[in-house]
Amino acid sequence: MIQSILTETRARVEAYLRTMGYKDSCIVRYNHTWNHLADFMKASGEELYSREVGDAFLDAWHDGKDYKQLTHRQQERVRHIDVLSDMTEIGEVRRSHVMPKEITYPGILGEPFTLFIRDQSQLKAASSLQRYKERIYNLYAYLADSGKTLADFTVRDATAFLEILDKAKGPVDRDNIVITTRVFLRSMCEKGLLSDNREQLWMEVFRLKRVNSRKLPSVYTKDEVEAVIAAIDRTHPQGKRDYAMVLLAARYGLRISDIIGLRFCNLDWEDNRISLVQQKTGKRVTLPLSEEVGSAIIEYIRHGRPQIDLPYVFLKAHAPYGELKATGLASNLGDWMRAAGIDSTGRKHGPHALRHSLATNLLGVNQPIPVISEILGHSTTESTTVYTRVSMDMLRRCALDVPFVKSSFYDDLYG
C-alpha cells in the first residue's frame, strides 16, 4: 500500500517537473530522496504519507538540524519532500517550491513583472538579467499562491513573504532576493501599481539582515605587479599563455571572463586595437593594442597555442585541449606570485586583483574617476568609487602618531 500511494503521488510530481522543464538528471535526484522516504516509512510502519511523515523523515536524515545549518544538497532534499507534501495536501505543487527553467510570469499578475524585466534588459547583461528573473519570481510565486495581485500586496503580506524567505533561503540568497525585490518595488511605486506607493515604506520593510558594506578590493603595488609579470616563465607554452593573459589583466584591467572569452575576431591587428563586448556588462570596449601585449599574444599563438581550430585565443595547455575555465589562471597566478616573492597573505591573488590594482594605481597618479571607469568598462562611475576607499586606507597607514605634548606647554597660551 505504501508503495502504491507513493508511486502515484511521485508520478504526478514528476510529470509536473517535466512540464517545468526539469532535466532527467535533476528528476533522478528527486527520486533518490523519495526512495529513501519509502524505506523510512516501511521501517517506521507508516501506511499513509503526510507532511508530518515527511518532516519526521527529514529530521531523522538531517539529525534534527535547522534548515539554515544544512548544506546545499540537504536543502535540496527538503524541497524534494516539500513538493511531495504539496501534491498530497492540495493536489498541486506550489510555485514557490519549484523554479521553472524558462522563467515567465503568466497572467495579469505577471504583466508588471514582465515589463520590469523588459526595462532591465536595456541595463543588464544576460547573466545579471537571469538572476533578476529568478529573484523576482519568488515574489510572483508568493502572490500567485496567495491569489493576490500587486494592488492587493500589503505590509502584512510582505512580512509573510519575508518569513518564507527566512525559512527557505540561506542568508546570502535571502538578501540577494531582497535587494532585487527592492529594485522591483521601487519601480512599481513609480508606476503607482502597489496598494501603497510610498517607496520609503517598502524600503523599510524589505531590509537586509547582513550589513551591506562592500569589502575593500585586494590590490598590489605597481612594483609588485611588475615583479609578478617578470617572474612568469615563458620558456614553455603555458608560461607564454599565462604571460599574455596576465598582461591583459594588468595593463587593461580586463575581467577573467573577457580574457578567456577573447576571440581572434576581437583582435584588430591592422589598427592595433582590441575590441570586445564585456560579458558582465554587455558594454563594448575598445583598447589600444600595445606592442608589449601584442607581442605576447603573437608569441603565444605562434609558439605556445595548440593547433586546434577553435575561435578562442587562449586554450588549455594540456590535452584534451579546449576552452579555458576561470579557475585555471587564478591558480597559476598564485604560483607566479610566490615565484616573485610576493606575500599575498590577507589578499586575493586571482586575476581580478590585477584589475583592482590597475584602478587603484591609476587613482594614485591622480587619474580622474571617469577616465578609470572608462578604462575598466564600468557601467557607471559608482562602481569605480570603491577604489577611493582603498586609497584612504593607504593614507591612514602613512599617518604619523600625534607627538606627546606636556600640559604645561599651554599654560601661557592666553597669558
Residues 97 and 82: beta-carbon distance below 8 Å:
yes
Which of 169, 255, 305, 356 is labelled catalytic? 255
Quote the CA–CA distance of 248 and 110 in Å, as a whole number: 44
The catalytic position among 97, 251, 355, 356 is: 355
User: What type of residue sits at position 197?
Assistant: N
Residue from 378, 150, 370 nearest 254 by CA: 378
Q: Where does residue 72 rank: exposed (0-12), middle (13-18), buried (19+ CB within 10 A)?
A: exposed
- Out of 280, 338, 347, 348, which one is annotated catalytic? 280
Separation CA 322–CA 256 (nearest Å): 16
Distance of CA 355 to the CA centre of its chain: 18
Annotated catalytic residue 80:
no
Give the list of residues 6+ apart from residue 202 with CB closer than 8 angstroms, or none: 158, 182, 185, 186, 189, 194, 196
Distance spanning both ends of the chain, measured CA to CA: 102
Active site residue 207: no
**Cα→Cα distances 9→1, 13, 40, Å:** 12, 6, 17
Q: Return the closest-CA partner of residue 166 out of 208, 203, 128.
A: 208
All residues at 6 or more sequence positions from 174 whose CB lies less than 8 Å from its CB, including other chains: 165, 166, 209
Among residues 104, 107, 80, 75, which one has the least CA distance to residue 93? 80
Active site residue 355: yes
- For this structure, is 214 an active site residue? no
State the catalytic residue, choosing from 378, 406, 410, 414: 378
- The reply to whether 352 belongs to the active site is yes
Q: Which residue reads 595548440 in cell numbers?
A: 306
Q: What does the alpha-carbon distance between residue 60 and residue 285 come to, in Å, rounded to a whole number?
A: 55
Residue 255 is a catalytic residue: yes
Work out whether the CA dihedral 64, 66, 71, 73 comes out positive or negative: positive
Point out the residues that are catalytic.
255, 280, 352, 355, 378, 387
